[in-house]
Amino acid sequence: MMGFELVGAGGYVVNLLALAVLFESAVRYVVASVTAYFISNVLMYVGNRYYTFRIGREGFWSAYVRYLAVGLIVAGLAVLVLVLLVDGMGLHPTFGQALALVIVTPATFILFNRWTFRVES
């Protein structure tokens, strides 16, 4: 699991930086959140594929389609949590995004590990 943590930490930082830049550029925080998630999603796919799960090139695109599908679910969950934290609790969107990503991480790992990067025997 160490690889997932390292790749995830890098994706987490990219996500928060992207959200902060977008939000400070007057992009609505929900749109900024989804956009930031998918920017980091691409980077994390490559990192998880080659570093965490050590899967070669075979099935790259079919796994990426699964990764994007999981990404949609995760981005949706993260946005729901983010809206609760920002609109419901008054947190700043960047701090809310930081917390939302931490909250959805366990589900993210399970979905990516069990479905996206499954290894056929």
Domain count, the chain: 1
CA distance 120 to 87: 43
Q: Is residue 29 included in any domain, yes or no?
A: yes
Q: Is residue 88 included in any domain, yes or no?
A: yes
pLDDT-based confidence at residue 121 (cuts at 50, 70, 90): very low
**Region of poorest pLDDT, from 17-21, 50-54, 66-70:** 50-54
**Region of residue 119 (phi > 0: left; psi between -120 and 50: alpha; otherwise: beta):** beta
Q: Is residue 121 included in any domain, yes or no?
A: no
The length of the chain, given as a count of residues: 121
Q: Specify whether the CB–CB gap between 15 and 97 falls below 8 A.
A: yes
Question: What confidence tens digit (pLDDT) does each residue in 84-108 have?
Answer: 999 999 999 999 999 999 999 888 7
Q: Is 89 helix (H, G, I), strand (E, B) or coil?
A: coil
**Whole domain around residue 111: which residue ranges?**
2-116
How many CB atoms are located within 10 Å of the residue 68 CB? Answer: 15
pLDDT: which is higher, 8 or 93:
93
Question: What confidence tens digit (pLDDT) does each residue in 23-59 have?
Answer: 999 999 999 999 999 999 999 888 888 887 777 788 8
- Candidates 23, 46, 45, 48; CA nearest to 36 is 23
Tokens of 18: 């992207």
Give the model's pLDDT for residue 28. Answer: 97
CA distance 2 to 6: 6
